[in-house]
Chains A and B, each alone.
Chain A
Amino acid sequence: SAVISQKPSRDICQRGTSLTIQCQVDSQVTMMFWYRQQPGQSLTLIATANQGSEATYESGFVIDKFPISRPNLTFSTLTVSNMSPEDSSIYLCSVEGTGPTEQYFGPGTRLTVT
């Protein structure tokens, strides 16, 4: 199984500021996914990040608000820009496993915007 780390694990930020979340994997993966889990809700996909290409965003999410970088096959960042209290969520990155039957998640970043 893939070992995934995320930084920071949690943060409290003021509205109007930006936070960059890092996701590091212990093996090379083609696709990385970023999800958001709002309080008491299920997970919603923000975007899919492939190395060497622009991220693909889901409906309702835009690059200006959630810019993503994918500089290599083991690392990605998600920035939450111009934050508002509605951005308070857990942000999780996910990667494929060694085969198509597995997908693994990082421990998540708990973001609170005040």
Chain B
Amino acid sequence: AQKITQTQPGMFVQEKEAVTLDCTYDTSDPSYGLFWYKQPSSGEMIFLIYQGSYDQQNATEGRYSLNFQKARKSANLVISASQLGDSAMYFCAMSSNFGNEKLTFGTGTRLTIIP
């Protein structure tokens, strides 16, 4: 069975600073995918970034990067130069077989950006 752990229920960060959201995972699958989603107060789930288990390079998408440490089973999300609009819930999730499979979600981290 897959499990995602997010140990930070809430974080407060000053605007323009970088922030790291922690995510650790557990799985027995040799192939898997790791996802990060942002959920603003409106409730929609916004896809941010993806990392495959065999990817050699850390994924990056604009201000988002994923710090993938396979041996430690961690997939932390790094947001550079935080903005007020980054305030939201952030969920880490994983799937087996890289993707196109059901997702298992962590409990989420509520990020608040302070002006």
Interface residues of A (CB under 8 A from B): 1, 30-31, 33, 37, 41-45, 48, 58, 90, 92, 94, 96-97, 99-105, 107-108, 110
Contacts and interface: CB of A to CB of B under 8 A. Distances in A.
14 contacts: A1-B47, A33-B103, A43-B93, A45-B103, A94-B45, A96-B100, A100-B99, A103-B47, A105-B44, A105-B47, A107-B43, A108-B43, A108-B44, A110-B43
Interface of chain B: mostly helix, strand, loop or mixed: loop
A100 B47 CA distance: 13
A61 to B, nearest CB: 12
Given A42-B91, A100-B33, 4 more contacts: A33-B102, A96-B99, A103-B47, A108-B45
B35 interface: yes
Contacts, number: 62
B101 to A, nearest CB: 8
Nearest to A43: B105
B95 interface: yes
A102 B99 contact: yes
Contacts of A110: 43
B25 interface: no
B43 A103 contact: no
A30 B99 CA distance: 13
Contacts of A33: 102-103
Contacts of B100: 30-31, 96, 100, 103
